[in-house]
Amino acid sequence: MEQTGFTIWFTGLSGAGKTTLARLLEPELQARGYKVEVLDGDIIRTNLSKGLGFSKEDRDTNIRRIGFVCDLLARNDVIAIAAAISPYKEVRDELRDSLRNFVEVYVECPIPVLAERDVKGLYKKALAGEIKNFTGIDDPYEAPENPEIIAHSDSETPEQSLAKILAKLEEMQLIAASKIDAANAN
Amino acid sequence: MEQTGFTIWFTGLSGAGKTTLARLLEPELQARGYKVEVLDGDIIRTNLSKGLGFSKEDRDTNIRRIGFVCDLLARNDVIAIAAAISPYKEVRDELRDSLRNFVEVYVECPIPVLAERDVKGLYKKALAGEIKNFTGIDDPYEAPENPEIIAHSDSETPEQSLAKILAKLEEMQLIAASKIDAANAN
C-alpha cells in the first residue's frame, strides 16, 4: 500500500481522553496496514524534554520537539499520533503551518466533569493549590478555533469519537476507506 | 523492497568528518531505494536539546535523545544516521544494547591533524582556552573499542571511507548488495 505520512494531533485538558483515543486509534490504523507511532506527552517529557517545566516557554519548547519528531516520522510515511495538552494556540498553528497534513483533534470536556472524574487526583490537588500551573485551573488553555475534529468526551463514548476520527481521515483521503465502508458504497 | 531499519552511529572528534560521511552516505542509500534520515548533532541540539550544555550529564542526555529518535525511525523501517561527537563510551554502549541493529562508525583523526585543519576555528580557540569543555582538548573522548567500522579521515578520502561503510553494511546484510557488486559476483 502506498502510504503518505501525516500527523494527528490530540489537544485538550488533562484527563480529557487524548491518550485513550490515541491508543484506540493506533491499532485501528495498524490493522489497515499503516505504520503508526504514538507520541504521548508523558513519554516525550521523559525522553526528550526532561528538565523542561510548565512555563509558557517550556511548554512551547516541548510541543515544538514533539512536532519535530512527528515531522521526521510523517515524511517517512509513518502516521504520527501526538497526544499532549498543548494549551497554546500559537504554537499549534505554527505546527499546522510547518508540518505536512496536520490534523487537529480537540478532545473537549468541561472542567467540572474532569474535576469530578479526576482519575489521577490532579484536579483536586490543583484546586487546592497544591499543584501550580495546572492547565485549566491556574494556567490557560486556548481551545482550537477550527480543529478538523472535535471529540466530546463527556457526551460521546471513545468508540464514537474514534469513528468520527476515522471518517474524517477517510474524507480527507489521508487513509483509504475501510473495506466495510467500500462494500456499503457499492 | 522489504526494508528493515537500523541505526548508523558516527562518533568522533569535532571536525573529524562525521557529518561529511553521513551526508555522503545518505544519497547513496536513497539511490538504493532506502528511506534515510540524518540526525546531525548540531540540528538535534537546536531542535531537541536547546538548553543542554556540555557537562557529561548533558552530553549523555543529548545522546540518549538522538538514540530515542533513531529508534523511532528504525522501527519504522528507516535507516537512521546519527552524527554526533558522543564522547562517552558508556552511553554509546547503552544505545548499542537498546537499539536494534546499531552500527558504530568511529571517525578517527589525530588531534594535531584536526587542529591543523581547524575548519571552524574551534581548535585554535579551545587551545587558547577561549572555549571550555572542548572534546579532545580539555574534555574527554573515549574511543570505541570494537566499532563495526573505523574511518581514518587523515589517511582515507571520504569516498574510500564511504566504500568501506557500504561494504560492511552489505556484509552485515543490513542492505542489499549493490547491482554492480552483484553483477561482478556472477
A73 close contact with B: CB closer than 8 A = yes
Of residues B49, B55, B86, B98, which has the active-site annotation? B86
What are the two backbone dihedrals, phi and then psi, of residue A68, each rounded to the nearest 5 degrees? -60, -45
Predicted confidence band of residue B186 (pLDDT cuts 50, 70, 90): very low
pLDDT at residue number B143: 97
Candidates A78, A79, A95, A98: best to mutate against B (most CBs of B within 10 A) is A78
Contact B61 A50 (CB under 8 A): yes
Nearest to A76 among B35, B48, B51 (CB): B35
How far is CA B22 from each of CA A76, A86, B19, B100, rounded to the nearest angstrom? 18, 34, 5, 19
What digits encode the pLDDT tens for the residues B71-122?
Answer: 999 999 999 999 999 999 999 999 999 998 999 999 999 999 999 999 899 9
Contact A72 B68 (CB under 8 A): no
One-letter amino acid of A33? G
Residues of A in contact with B95 (CB under 8 A): none
What digits encode the pLDDT tens for the residues A114-135?
Answer: 999 998 999 999 999 999 999 9
Contact B72 A76 (CB under 8 A): no
Which are the contacts of B40, defined by CB distance < 8 A and separation ≥ 6?
B19, B22, B83, B84
pLDDT at residue number A3: 60
Mind spelling out the 3-state secondary structure of A39-53? EEHHHHHHHCCCCCC
In the sheet that A102-108 helps form, which strands lie side by side, from edge to edge? A36-40, A79-83, A6-11, A102-108, A149-152
A37: nearest CA partner in chain B: B72
The mean pLDDT of B144-162, rounded to a whole number, is 97
Q: How far apart are CA B49 and CA B30, in angstroms?
A: 28
Candidates A69, A70, A77, A99: best to mutate against B (most CBs of B within 10 A) is A69
The mean pLDDT of B29-36, rounded to a whole number, is 95
pTM for the model stands at: 0.91
Per-residue b/e over B83-113, b at no fewer than 16 CB within 10 Å?
bbbbbbeebbeebbeebebbbbbbbbbebee
Instruction: Check pLDDT > 70 for residue B1.
Output: no
| CA distance, residue B146 to nearest chain A CA (Å) | 27
Give the residue from A60, A176, A156 showing the smallest Cα distance to A105.
Answer: A156
A69 close contact with B: CB closer than 8 A = yes
B50: nearest CA partner in chain A: A61
Give the residue from B77, B38, B29, B74 showing the smallest Cα distance to B178.
Answer: B29
One-letter amino acid of B1? M
Burial of A106 (0-12, 13-18, 19+ CB in 10 A): buried
Instruction: Check pLDDT > 50 for residue B41.
Output: yes
Q: How far apart are CA A99 and CA A91, in angstroms?
A: 12
Nearest to B65 among A47, A52, A73 (CB): A47
Give the residue from B2, B174, B7 showing the smallest Cα distance to B103.
Answer: B7
How far is CA A36 from each of CA A23, A90, A185, rounded to the nearest angstrom? 11, 26, 27
A101 close contact with B: CB closer than 8 A = no
SS3 (DSSP) at A65: helix
B47 close contact with A: CB closer than 8 A = yes
Give the residue from B67, B68, B74 showing the smallest Cα distance to B35.
Answer: B74
| CA distance, residue B176 to nearest chain A CA (Å) | 20
Which are the contacts of B58, defined by CB distance < 8 A and separation ≥ 6?
B52
Nearest to A61 among B50, B61, B76 (CB): B50
B65 close contact with A: CB closer than 8 A = yes
A139 close contact with B: CB closer than 8 A = no
pLDDT averages per 10-residue partition of chain A, 186 residues: 83 96 98 95 89 92 96 96 97 95 97 94 95 94 97 97 98 85 49
The mean pLDDT of B153-176, rounded to a whole number, is 97
Q: How many CB atoms lie within 10 A of CB A97?
A: 8
| CA distance, residue A152 to nearest chain B CA (Å) | 31
What digits encode the pLDDT tens for the residues B7-21?
Answer: 999 999 999 999 999
Nearest to A48 among B35, B68, B77 (CB): B68
How far is CA A64 from each of CA A95, B50, B185, rounded to the nearest angstrom? 7, 11, 49
Burial of A42 (0-12, 13-18, 19+ CB in 10 A): exposed
A77 close contact with B: CB closer than 8 A = yes
The mean pLDDT of B139-163, rounded to a whole number, is 97
Return the half-sphere exposure (C-beta side, CA atoms, 13 A cut-off) of residue B167.
9
Q: Catalytic residue at B86?
A: yes
Cβ-contact A78, A37 below 8 angstroms: yes
